[in-house]
Structure 1
Amino acid sequence: MAHEYKLNELDGLLAEYDYPVSRDAVATECEDVTLQLADGEANLGETVRGSDADTFASADELRSEVMSLLPRRSVGEPFQSEGEG
């Protein structure tokens, strides 16, 4: 069954893993997870599979890696701050 998450729900999803966790384990378990981005969507399993890291020591490390692999415009307009307004 496919699952869809907004990008701001990523932290909760990644917190469910026991760390350290391997890239392959996360990629396999997330094959059916779609992240809704500001500019489209991305398959989380494919995104993680694109990482050069073999393992992730923490949810923060995995999150940082996922964010670095997503297209730059996926989180909104460049230089846009969520804290303004």
Structure 2
Amino acid sequence: MTERVKLKDLEDALEGLPYPLSKQNAVAEVEGIVLVYADGEETAADVVERIEEEVFDDPASLAASIRNNLPTEAVGEPGQSEGEG
């Protein structure tokens, strides 16, 4: 079953996984999660495959690694920043 997850809810979606989790197991565990971006979407498994870390100790470490490997279009238009108005 596919679960669509907004980036703000990513850590909550990763809570129930069995930690510590190897990168290979993380790819399998997040297979059904689709990350909803500002402009499009991508499977969490595809993002995890780009991560260099090999072990994740908790949901926060996996979520941070996923966020660090997101494409530019995931969070908005280039040159935009939150707080400017």
| TM-score after normalising by structure 1 | 0.81
Decide whether the 8 Å contact of 2:17 with 2:29 is kept in 1: no
Amino acid at match of 2:13: L
> Could you say which residue in structure 2 is the equivalent of 1:30?
30
> Could you say which residue in structure 1 is the equivalent of 2:61?
61
- Cα shift at 1:84: 6.7
* In the alignment, structure 1 residue 16 sits paired with structure 2 residue 43: no
Task: State the identity as a percent.
Answer: 31
Instruction: In structure 2, list runs of 5 or more residues that go unmatched.
Output: none
Amino acid at match of 2:15: A
Task: Give the Cα separation in 2 of the matches to 1:51 and 1:30.
Answer: 13
Instruction: Count how many residue pairs are aligned between Structure 1 and Structure 2.
Output: 84
Task: Give the Cα separation in 1 of the matches to 2:14 and 2:29.
Answer: 11
Task: Give the Cα separation in 1 of the matches to 2:67 and 2:37.
Answer: 11
